[in-house]
Amino acid sequence: MNNTKVNQAYEVAIFAGGCFWCMVSPFDILDGIKEVKSGYIGGHKENPTYKDVKSQTSGHYEAVKIVYDPSVISYDKLLQAFWRQVDPTDEGGQFQDRGESYRTAIFYTTEEQKQKAQASKKQMDESKRFADPIVTPILEATTFYDAEEYHQDFYKKSPIEYKEDRKISGRDEFIKKYWGEEYYDIYD
């Protein structure tokens, strides 16, 4: 079962950027987004659970599947939003979350997405925004498994826990250091 296809009017983008709790809200607030799901992709176990993924034995990434209307928001803009959420130079996880399930990746669902992701990664690397090279891989999307219901829209369901987790993660400090006010350009 491959659930990377949706209504023909919409398209799907899949990004891994560490803890999926922190990857939902930055996309959810963009115009043209129909749905953002937390889930698992890229591993070897069918129907993984959070426990399987967190144990770092299933090979999956924590990721978000974004259903969007390409007549309202482009894949290029989603890529810009993705790069602003992550440390693309870190192979060992993201911020306080360490291990293979917290690595970054762009999962493409079409050849056009692959080409755009590769161009975007090259541009990011050549910008020298980061001293170290960009290590975020661009991978073909495999089956995306929705995470358990309590993980969906976590920032809305458990705002206090979400804010605390995000605060101690170091993500926001990193974003401020490397993006500053430019971070908000995509939200205009």
Active site positions, annotated = 19
Q: How many whole angstroms separate alpha carbon 31 and alpha carbon 60? A: 29
Element holding 165 (H helix, E strand): helix 159-169
The structure tokens listed for 12 are: 């799907």
- CB-CB contact of 15 with 83 (8 Å): no
Q: Which amino acid appears at position 30 of this protein?
A: L
β-partners of residue 108 are: 140
Element holding 104 (H helix, E strand): strand 104-108
Q: What SS3 state is found at 94?
A: strand
